[in-house]
C-alpha cells in the first residue's frame, strides 16, 4: 500500500514536495512523558530496546504526539557490537559501558559477523510491529552506526571526548583497525538489509564521532567503509550523517547516498554549493529549542530560507536534548510545516 504521507521519501529521492518534511533525531525519547512511562515499565533502556512491543510503542509516540513526518525505529547503534559477541551495559548518568573491549587480532577472532535474523531478531520484530502500527501514515527510518563510530566504542569501552584509545589503534596498528572495521561493516550491511526486508523505508548511517578524525584519517578509516555500505544498500534511500566532518562534505557528496545530514556547524549555503547533487537534512542547533517560541519560529524561518524548501529535510543538527520542553518541540515542527508550504 502507498504511504499517506510520503513527503520524506520524495524529498530523499530529490522529487518535488508541497512542503518540507520534518522529523528529529532522538525524537522517540525522554522529551515525552509517555516514553518515560514505558521506560519505567521496562525497567532499563536495554530491556526497552530489546522488547519489540515496547520498542514499537515508543517509536510510534512522536508520530502520534508530535506530528513528525517519519518514525525512526527505537534502538541503539551499539546493538551491532553486541550482536557480534561484545555485549554492553547502559549505566544511568554514564551511558554505554562495555565490560570487555577489543584490542588484538585474538580479541577480534572471538567475534563473528552479526546474523540479523537471529542476533538482532528483536529489532526486526519491532520494525514489523511498528509498520503495522503506522498503518502507512508515514515512512519508517531504520539506522545503524557508521563502522568507525562503532569501532570507537568497541576499543574504548565507553564514551569519551577524545577516543584516544580508539585513535591510538589507527596509528599503532592500522592492520588490526582495518580488520575490525571490515567485520563491523559486514555486520552493518547485513543488519541494514534485514531492517529493509522487515519494512524500513529508508536508512540512516550515524557517524557520531567523525569529527575527532583528521581529514586524512577520515578518508582512510571511515569513508571507505561508509562507501561499502552505501554501495550495498540499493533498495531504499540512504542518509549519511557524519557529525563534525565538515571537511568531508565533498567526499560524502560523491557517495551513493541520497541524503547528507548536516550538524549546526555546517553552513547551509556553503553546504549546498559543496553538495549540489543530494538532498540535505538538518541542521538547527538543538539548544534553539530552549529559547522562546518566537525565537524558535524565527530560527526555523531563517533555516528554511537558507536551505530552500526543495531537496531538503528539516531536522536538528544532532539529537533533541532530553530536557527539552515537548511544546517547544511541537513549535519547531509546526513552524517548519507552516513556513514551508
Binding-site members for substrate are: 26-30, 76, 153, 208, 318
One digit per residue, the tens of pLDDT, for the chain of length 341 reads: 799 999 999 999 999 999 999 999 999 999 999 999 999 999 999 999 999 999 999 999 999 999 999 999 999 999 999 999 999 999 887 889 999 999 999 999 999 999 999 999 999 999 999 999 999 999 999 999 999 999 999 999 999 999 999 999 999 999 999 999 999 999 999 999 999 999 999 999 999 999 999 999 999 999 999 999 999 999 999 999 999 999 999 999 999 999 999 999 999 999 999 999 999 999 999 999 999 999 999 999 999 999 998 999 999 999 999 999 999 999 999 999 999 87
DSSP secondary structure, 85-101, as one string = T---EEETTTEEE-SS-
8-state DSSP, 277: T
- Give the angle 195-196-200 at the CA atoms, nearest 5°: 85
CA distance 81 to 74: 17
Q: Are residues 8 and 139 in contact, defined by beta-carbon separation less than 8 angstroms?
A: yes
Q: Is 26 a catalytic residue?
A: yes
Q: Is 207 a catalytic residue?
A: no
Q: Is the dihedral of CA 53, 54, 59, 63 positive or negative?
A: positive
Give pLDDT, residue 309.
87
Q: Is 94 a catalytic residue?
A: no
Q: Helical H runs in the chain? A: 7-12, 33-42, 45-49, 52-66, 79-84, 105-109, 116-119, 121-134, 147-156, 164-172, 174-198, 215-221, 223-232, 249-253, 268-274, 293-307, 326-340
Place of cell 569513508: 223
Grid coordinates representing 207 are 557517524
From 88, 153, 218, 225, active-site residue: 153
CA distance 111 to 102: 9
Q: Is 64 a catalytic residue?
A: no
From 76, 119, 186, 263, active-site residue: 76
CA distance 37 to 198: 27
Give pLDDT, residue 340.
80
pTM of full prediction above 0.85: yes
Q: Are residues 71 and 143 in contact, defined by beta-carbon separation less than 8 angstroms?
A: no
From 10, 13, 30, 137, active-site residue: 30
Strands 95-97 vs 238-242: parallel, antiparallel or unpaired = unpaired
Nearest to 116 by CA among 229, 198, 237: 198
Q: Are residues 192 and 142 in contact, defined by beta-carbon separation less than 8 angstroms?
A: yes
From 6, 39, 186, 249, active-site residue: 39
Burial (CB < 10 A; 0-12, 13-18, 19+), residue 264, is: middle
CA distance 209 to 189: 19
Q: Is 76 a catalytic residue?
A: yes
CATH code for the structural domain at 7-264: 3.20.20.210
Amino acid at each position: 500500500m502507498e504511504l499517506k504521507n510520503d513527503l520524506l521519501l520524495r524529498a530523499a529521492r530529490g522529487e518535488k514536495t508541497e512542503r518540507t518534511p520534518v522529523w528529529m533525531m532522538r525524537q522517540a525519547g525522554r522529551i515525552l512523558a509517555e516514553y518515560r512511562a514505558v521506560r519505567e515499565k521496562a525497567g532499563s533502556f536495554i530491556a526497552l530496546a530489546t522488547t519489540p512491543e515496547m520498542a514499537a510503542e515508543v517509536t510510534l509516540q512522536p508520530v502520534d504526539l508530535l506530528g513528525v513526518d517519519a518514525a525512526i525505529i527505537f534502538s541503539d547503534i551499539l546493538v551491532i557490537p553486541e550482536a557480534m559477541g561484545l555485549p554492553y551495559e547502559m549505566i544511568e548518568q554514564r551511558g554505554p559501558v562495555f565490560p570487555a573491549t577489543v584490542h588484538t587480532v585474538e580479541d577480534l577472532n572471538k567475534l563473528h559477523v552479526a546474523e540479523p535474523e537471529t542476533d538482532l531478531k528483536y529489532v526486526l520484530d519491532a520494525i514489523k510491529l511498528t509498520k503495522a502500527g503506522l498503518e502507512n501514515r508515514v515512512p519508517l527510518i531504520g539506522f545503524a552506526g557508521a563502522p568507525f563510530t562503532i569501532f570507537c566504542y568497541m576499543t574504548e569501552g565507553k564514551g569519551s571526548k577524545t577516543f584516544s584509545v580508539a585513535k591510538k589503534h589507527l596509528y599503532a596498528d592500522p592492520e588490526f583497525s582495518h580488520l575490525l572495521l571490515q567485520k563491523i561493516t559486514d555486520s552493518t550491511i547485513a543488519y541494514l538489509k534485514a531492517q529493509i526486508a522487515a519494512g524500513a523505508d529508508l536508512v540512516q548511517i550515524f557517524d557520531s564521532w567523525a569529527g575527532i578524525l583528521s581529514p586524512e584519517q577520515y578518508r582512510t578509516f571511515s569513508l571507505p567503509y561508509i562507501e561499502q555500505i552505501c554501495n550495498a544498500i540499493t533498495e531504499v534511500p540512504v542518509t549519511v550523517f557524519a557529525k563534525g566532518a565538515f571537511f568531508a562534505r565533498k567526499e560524502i557528496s560523491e557517495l551513493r547516498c541520497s541524503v547528507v545530514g548536516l550538524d549546526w556547524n555546517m553552513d547551509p549555503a556553503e553546504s549546498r554549493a559543496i553538495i549540489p547533487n543530494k538532498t540535505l537534512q538538518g541542521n538547527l542547533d538543538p539548544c534553539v529549542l530552549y529559547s522562546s517560541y518566537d525565537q524558535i519560529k524565527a530560527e526555523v524561518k531563517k533555516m528554511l530560507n537558507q536551505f530552500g524548501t526543495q531537496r531538503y529535510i528539516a531536522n536538528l543538527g544532532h539529537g533533541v536534548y532530553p530536557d527539552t520542553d515537548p511544546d517547544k518541540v511541537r513549535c519547531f515542527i509546526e513552524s517548519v510545516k507552516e513556513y514551508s508550504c
